[in-house]
Amino acid sequence: MRKVWDLIGGVHPPENKHQSVQLPIDVLPLPEKLVIPLNQHIGAPAKLLVANGDRVLKGQELAEPSGLVSVGVHAPTSGTISDISEYPIPHPSGMAARCITLIPDGKEQWIDHVGIDATYSFQDYSPAKLLEMIRHAGIAGLGGAGFPSAVKLSPRKTITTLIINGSECEPYITADDMLMRERAEAIVEGIQILSYILGGPEEVLIGIEDNKPEAHAALEPFVRDTHIQLVSFPTRYPSGGEKQLIQILTGREVPSGGLPADIGIVCQNVGTAFAVQKAIHFGEPLISRITTVTGRACSTNRNYEVLIGTPITHLLAHNGFDENNCSRLIMGGPMMGFTLTDLDIPVIKTTNCILAASWEEAPTPPPAQPCIRCGMCAEACPASLLPQQLFWYAQSHNHERLEAHNLFDCIECGACSYVCPSNIPLVQYYRASKGEIRKQAQEKIKSDRARARFEFQKARKEQEEMAKAAKREARKQAAEQAKTLSAGRGNKPQKNADMVKTAMARAAEHQASPAEQQARLERGIVRAESHLHTVEKRLETIRKEGTEQQQEQALAAVEDARRRLEDARSKRAQLNNTAGTSDTDKVMERLQASPRDTLEKKIASCKERIAVTRQKIVDSDDETLKAALTSGLEKQQAKLADAQQALAALPDNTPDTPVNQETTDAAANAIARAQARAAATRDLPAEEQLRQTVVALEGRIEKAKAKLDEARAGESEYVNALQAGLEKLQNKLLDAQQQLNTVTTQPSTVDDDTGDAASSAIARAQARVAELASMSEEDKLRETVASLKSRLEKARIKLREAEAERSEHVDSLRTAVEKLQVRLTEAEQQLAEYHP
Amino acid sequence: MIELILQNPLIAALVALVGLALVFGAVLGFAAIKFRIEGDPIVQQIDELLPQTQCGQCGYPGCRPYAQAIANGDAINKCPPGGQSTINALATLLGVEAPSLDAEHGEENDVKTVAYIREDECIGCTKCIQACPVDAILGAAKMMHTVIASECTGCDLCVEPCPVDCIDMIPVPQGLSDWTWDMPPPAEEQIKAQRHPAEIIATDRGDKAA
């Protein structure tokens, strides 16, 4: 004997089951019409498959499942669809819903239906296939809630225990009891199918209350050799509740808000097991169910196998229903059922009982009295809740507290109402509160959506407005620009001149090096040649077939092209001649100047220097400096005297020929060499050019040094000039070397004019590093300060621009400026420290 | 140094206090940055309670502006769509006495409504589309418009601008999906009305009594 646990709480109302078990299950004659609601289950209503006036066969699918949590409905008998419309359905609200009305033709003509083949057993099918069959057989839980069975039978967790609910704890109802007594074999087969679908749980239990010994005895022989266990436990309401039955049979509790599947348990009603067996074994969909018709207002109390959709009036008419004796007509049991207001409503898949209660059975309940806090409800509650607390909170609509007290764990069994000495309709409060909370939650979702949509719309409108404003602004600016442009063209020559100047400056900037210019000219020549070629060709064709006018045009075009080509060629020739001359012109001029002019110039400059030196002597306070200046002055005066003498000695009629023919020739030679070299290097790549420059410079420095030494030895007056020249040469060499470095390290950036700004910046930075490396510490610092200052200036300008434009980079620019300032002050400090 | 402090209790006290002040200042400063809250949380909370119909009956252009106004001290009884329940909720949140609804701004209507456009009469002027605060009306110029009933908040802002008066506010039909049980009437009324209170049956009481 298996251990069973006690039900928490619970009540024991009079059973009143004996009235309806005296007679076996009967079948009623066909009613005049059947009304089949599309939604008899929990979930989405089924999707209609038939139209008004269609003839349907027994078992034909009238509507198919419209989603995962949905089941179809089938024709309970053959006949014609006479109406598809809103019709009152069995629901506590008494509302109407969409129903199919079927007029039976009495032929009971089945649709072709096949179950599993006689030679096979259900094990030859895959569980998925069987589940699909169950789904299409329209099976929803027959215990009362009507949850789609296929969904319940495909849990995500591994199932260890299958529980078959045969407890039927509510008073008056005997449908499951009679089913177990009469159809035990089919039920056991159905249970085996369910167990197979669930992957063979370790335990399969049938829970039956001990007030149904006949049902127990009927099932016993069929389960004897199987893994199914029959478990009997004490009768107590509401042991038939899913969670309560699990607690009784396994001692485990389903977590709050969870499902039995969470703890590896699936619970099915015996009626469902029977329906599954019918669907799998015979291929018959769910078109009928066992319903108890009982109550003292009916003369006959018994169970019927009723077709789904049979009107209640039809059932009652066959049981001697006395309307005058009936206080209330209840669908379901006396504890959890609801009062029917309309007798015309149909029996649906979840209708397990029609209770026509007499006035003695269901007297008008006395008015509710105040709660006396007796606590009997808390003792009776099978879900271990605090019904009186819930009652207070429900009265004050305190939804937060209600939820905190686990209102949603209430199974609405009515045990608390049953035991309440003040006759307070507690469950009605809970049901209403649950509804309110659900409604509010839905409204909250809706209002959140509305808020989101409203805010989105606001954002969208703002954006549109901004876009419009930006467009307007742009248009305004464009208009203003056009205005100023036209005004400037008309009467502002000054400005025009400025514009010309700037344009010229730009052009000068853009002026390319001789090499580039030449390349451009070459390209131009090639283009001109090809153009000439094409126009000549065209002229040919036109001569053959064109008109005179066309010929003339073509001829003109050819002339034009020729002229252009000539232009380009002459330009190239010009460039070749002029290349390199500009620098040498000055030298030639100086060399060819007359000696008189030279001497006069010398005298003038000497006089000027003397004047300056005298002034300096007067200004100076320092004795040593004065002495030095005086000596310098004396030298200058001597020079002046020399020059004046030489000028006097020069014969007046000396022709203005160069002083020294030899020197001039040498210089001219040098110029010729330089030009030749320039011509030679023009075609070389930049790197090569630079290298040559470096080599040449080195040679020149050598020479200059030698000359300097010589001059020093001879105490020549040119020592200073030579030294300055040497320094200049050294600087040039340094520059050239750096350029060469950059070219060799970053060849692409210098060779291609497409080199992007970033890489050229890198090149510059590298050049700077090289430069810095050759500098002294102090120079470096000075250099840093200078560069930082210029950078700071640039950054400030940029920042001002950004601020004017309200750019998004303003912040970053501002921080950059600040950083630069900090660095500048640091560098300046360092420099100051360096200077004693 | 330590001895100096020990010998002068005044300095010791000062050092201790300054030290504490520095420590707490640092902690508070850190917290002020770390746990910074954007915006006014009370406005958010008030906005949560408002019904979000965006109808503007309160005199503000939407629910959030009204929430802002309430946070700045405006009256809480200007929201007819929310009704007394919203006023009560706001009163609880703000810790004030719940006033009754200000009739100046409209009357509470128990029946929820949605806008419905009689499509044959619609001339496609798009005026209602521009008026809808939640973009619940579909349509284009010179095309028939229609209301997305599930998104309509029933604010009736679209009724006024319609030049041909083809918009009706119709009550939302109650379906099975949103039906709920009613609260049982109070006991005094039950006695007066001589009606039984409970749909919950517990019929066997009669037997038990018998």
Which site among B178, B179, B203 would you substitute to test the A interface, given the most A Cβ atoms closer than 10 Å to its Cβ?
Answer: B203
Report the chain A residue with the minimal C-alpha distance to residue B174: A95
| Domain-located, residue A132 | yes
On whether residue B190 sits in a domain, the answer given is no
Task: Please state, for a pLDDT cut of 70, what percent of chain A lies above it.
Answer: 83
Please name the member of B54, B136, B201 whose beta carbon is closest to the beta carbon of A330. Answer: B201
- Specify whether A707 is located in the same domain as A750: yes
Q: How many domains does chain A have?
A: 5
Q: Quick check: is B38 in a domain?
A: no
CB atoms within 10 A of CB A723: 14
List all residues of chain A from 316 to 355 with a beta carbon under 8 Å from chain B.
328, 330, 334-335, 337-339, 355
Best residue in A451, A456, A457 for a mutation probing chain B (most B CBs within 10 Å) = A451
Q: What is the rounded CA–CA span in Å between residue A506 and residue A563?
A: 29
Residues 6+ apart with CB under 8 A from A722: A704, A707, A708, A711, A716
Report how far residue A77's alpha carbon sits from residue A62's, in angstroms, rounded to the nearest whole number.
Answer: 11
Alpha helices in A234-269 (DSSP H): 242-250
Q: Quick check: is B1 in a domain? A: no
Residue at which a domain ends, from A421, A453, A485:
A485
A427 closest CB neighbour out of B187, B190, B200: B200
Confirm whether A6 is domain-assigned. no
Cα A806 from Cα A808, distance rounded (Å): 6
pLDDT tens sequence across A524-569? 888 888 888 888 888 888 777 767 777 788 888 888 888 888 887 8
Q: What domain range is A164 assigned to? A: 18-358
Task: Please tell me whether residues B155 and B106 are part of one structural domain.
Answer: no
Give yes or no: residues A563 and A640 share one domain.
no
Chain A: give the shortest CA distance to residue B11, in Å.
Answer: 38
Same domain, B149 and B161: yes
**Domain presence at residue B158:** yes
The verdict on B142 and B100 lying in the same domain is no
- For residues A554 and A201, the model is more confident at A201
In tens, the pLDDT along A55-112 reads: 999 999 999 988 888 888 999 999 999 999 988 888 888 888 899 999 999 888 888 8
Q: Which two tokens stand for residue A785?
A: 């300060």
Position with higher pLDDT, B147 vs A604: B147
In a domain, A221, yes or no: yes
Q: What is the pLDDT of residue A532?
A: 85
The domain that contains A247 carries what CATH number? 3.40.50.11540
The percent helix, strand, coil of chain A (3-state, each to 5) is 60, 10, 30
Q: Measured over all CA atoms, what is the biggest interatomic distance in chain A, rounded to whole angstroms? A: 166
**What is the DSSP secondary-structure string of A433-489?**
HHHHHHHHHHHHHHHHHHHHHHHHHHHHHHHHHHHHHHHHHHHHHHHHHHHHHHHHH
- At A274, is the pLDDT very low, low, confident or very high (cuts 50, 70, 90)? very high
pLDDT tier for residue A364 given thresholds of 50, 70 and 90: confident
Which residues on chain A are in Cβ contact (under 8 Å) with B174? 95
Among the listed residues B92, B62, B61, the one whose alpha carbon sits nearest the alpha carbon of residue B76? B92
The tokens describing A813, both together, are: 């620019």
Chain A residues within an 8 Å CB radius of B190: 367-368
Same-domain status, A753 and A800: no
Contact B154, B115 (CB under 8 A): yes
Residues with Cβ within 8 Å of B162's Cβ and at least 6 positions away in sequence, in order, are: B125, B127, B128
Q: Do A525 and A621 fall within a single domain? A: no
B88 is in which domain, residue-wise? 63-110
pLDDT at B88 (0 to 100): 87
Tokens at residue A96, please? 């109407």
Rounded Cα–Cα distance for residues A207 and A229 (Å): 9
Res A660 pLDDT > 80: no
3-state SS class at A32 = coil
Count of alpha carbons within 13 angstroms of residue A406, beta-carbon side: 13
Tell me the backbone φ, ψ of residue A62, rounded to 5 degrees. Answer: -90, -30
Q: How confident is the model at residue B179 (pLDDT cuts 50, 70, 90)?
A: confident
| Contact residues on chain B for A338, CB-CB shorter than 8 A | 199
B97 and B138 together in one domain = no
Mean pLDDT of A655-684: 58
DSSP, residue by residue, A142-192? TTSS--BHHHHTS-SSPP-EEEEE----STT--HHHHHHHH-HHHHHHHHH
Mean pLDDT (chain A, rounded): 83
Mean pLDDT is lowest, of A325-329, A519-523, A612-616, A618-622, for: A618-622
Residues 6+ apart with CB under 8 A from A620: A626, A629
Flag the least confident range among A76-90, A144-158, A301-315, A747-761: A747-761
Window 137-176 of A: residues touching B by CB (8 A cutoff) are: 171
Q: What is the mean pLDDT of residues A21-39?
A: 91
Instruction: Summarize pLDDT for A129-141 with one digit per residue, the tens.
Output: 889 888 889 999 8
How far apart, in whole angstroms, are the C-alpha atoms of residue A610 and residue A527?
63
Residue A585 has pLDDT above 60, yes or no: no
pLDDT at B52: 87
Residue A369 domain-assigned (yes or no):
no
pLDDT reported for residue B207: 39
Examine the domain organization and report whether A69 and A193 are in the same domain: yes
Q: Write the CA distances from A724 to A671, A693, A817, integer angstroms.
A: 22, 20, 40
Among A355, A360, A448, A454, most B C-beta atoms within 10 A, so best to mutate, is A454
pLDDT of residue A498: 63
Asked if pLDDT for residue B17 goes beyond 80, the answer is yes
Cis peptide before A238 (omega within 30 of 0): yes
Give yes or no: residues A26 and A105 share one domain. Answer: yes
pLDDT higher than 60, residue A330? yes
B115 and B166: one domain? yes
What are the tens digits of pLDDT across the range A670-690? 666 766 666 665 555 566 777
Q: Which residues of B101-139 are buried (b: 16+ CB within 10 A; e: fewer)?
A: bbeebbebeeebbbbebeeeebeebbbbbebbbbebbeb
Q: A300 — alpha (psi -120 to 50), left (phi > 0) or beta? A: beta
Average pLDDT over residues A658-680: 60
Q: What's the sign of the alpha-carbon dihedral B187, B189, B191, B193? A: negative
Q: What is the CA radius of gyration of chain A?
A: 56
Of the candidates A171, A428, A458, which has its C-beta nearest B198's C-beta?
A428
User: Above 90 in pLDDT, residue A231?
Assistant: yes
* Average pLDDT score, chain B: 83
Please give the residue that has the higher pLDDT: either B199 or A462. A462
Q: What's the rounded mean pLDDT across residues B192-206?
A: 49
What residue type is A788 in one-letter code?
L
Task: Work out the pLDDT band at A611, boundaries 50, 70, 90.
Answer: confident
pLDDT at A795: 85
Residues B115 and B104 in one domain: no
Strands A203-209 and A26-27: unpaired
A478 has pLDDT over 90? yes
Instruction: Answer yes or no: do B80 and B125 share one domain.
Output: no
What would the pLDDT profile of A32-52 be if each residue is shown by its tens digit? 999 999 988 888 888 999 999
Residue A294, phi then psi, degrees to nearest 5: -150, 180
| ipTM (interface predicted TM) | 0.77
Any idea what DSSP says for residue A808?
A: T
Residue contact B62–A428, C-beta within 8 A: no
B115 and B170, same domain (yes or no): yes
Any chain B CB within 8 A of the CB of A440?
no
Alpha helix ranges (H) inside B8-157: 9-34, 41-49, 63-71, 83-94, 127-131
- What single DSSP character describes residue A306? E
Average pLDDT of the segment spanning A1-25: 89
Q: Please count the other Cβ atoms lying within 10 Å of the Cβ belonging to residue A180.
A: 27
pLDDT > 60? residue A587: no
Say which range, A62-76, A717-731, B6-20, B137-151, has the weakest mean pLDDT. Answer: A717-731
Domain count, chain B: 2
Q: What percentage of residues in chain A have a pLDDT greater than 90?
A: 33
**Residue B57 within a domain:** no
Query: Which residue numbers of B have CB closer than 8 Å to A's CBs?
Result: 47, 50-54, 62-64, 133-136, 151, 153, 174-176, 178-184, 187, 190-191, 196-208, 210
Report yes or no on A225 lying in a domain: yes
Residue A1 lies in a domain: no
Model confidence at B172: pLDDT above 60: yes
In this prediction, residue A25 has a pLDDT band, given cuts at 50, 70 and 90, of very high
Q: Are both A313 and A297 inside the same structural domain? A: yes
pLDDT at A268 over 90: yes
B184:A429 CB<8 A: yes
B116 shares its domain with B100: no
- B95 found inside a domain: yes
Q: Give yes or no: residues A569 and A455 share one domain.
A: no
Q: Which residue has the higher pLDDT, A400 or A367?
A: A400
pLDDT reading at B18 higher than 90: yes
Contact call for residues A331 and A354 (beta carbons, < 8 A)? yes
Question: Do β-strands B113-117 and A338-339 pair in parallel, antiparallel, or remain unpaired?
Answer: unpaired
CB-based contact B198 A365, cutoff 8 Å: yes
Check whether residue A433 and residue A521 sit in a common domain.
Answer: no
Residues A227 and A301 in one domain: yes
Same-domain status, A652 and A678? yes
pLDDT of residue A751: 43
Three-state secondary structure call for residue A37 = strand
B118 and B169 co-located in one domain:
yes
Pair B93, B119 in one domain = no
pLDDT, residue A720, reads 75
What are the pLDDT digits (tens) for B67-107? 999 988 888 888 888 888 889 888 988 888 888 888 888 78
**Of residues A62 and B187, which shows the higher confidence score?**
A62
Residues of chain A neighbouring B151 (CB-CB closer than 8 A): 449-450, 453
Cα distance between residue A435 and residue A412, in whole Å: 13
- Shared-domain flag, residues A526 and A555: yes
Token pair listed for A720: 């200073």
Q: Give tens-digit pLDDT for B51-61.
A: 888 888 888 88
Of A93, A427, A457, the CB nearest to B133: A457
* Boundary (domain end) residue, out of A729, A756, A772: A772
Cβ separation B183–A394 shorter than 8 A: yes
Beta-bridged to residue A237, according to DSSP, are A11
Enter the tokens of residue A290: 């066992």
If you measure CA to CA, which chain A residue comes closest to B47? A451
Give pLDDT tens digits for A205-218. Answer: 999 999 999 999 99
Collapsing DSSP to helix, strand or coil, A346 comes out as strand
Pairing of strands A288-294, A26-27: unpaired
Chain Cα centroid distance, residue A218: 63
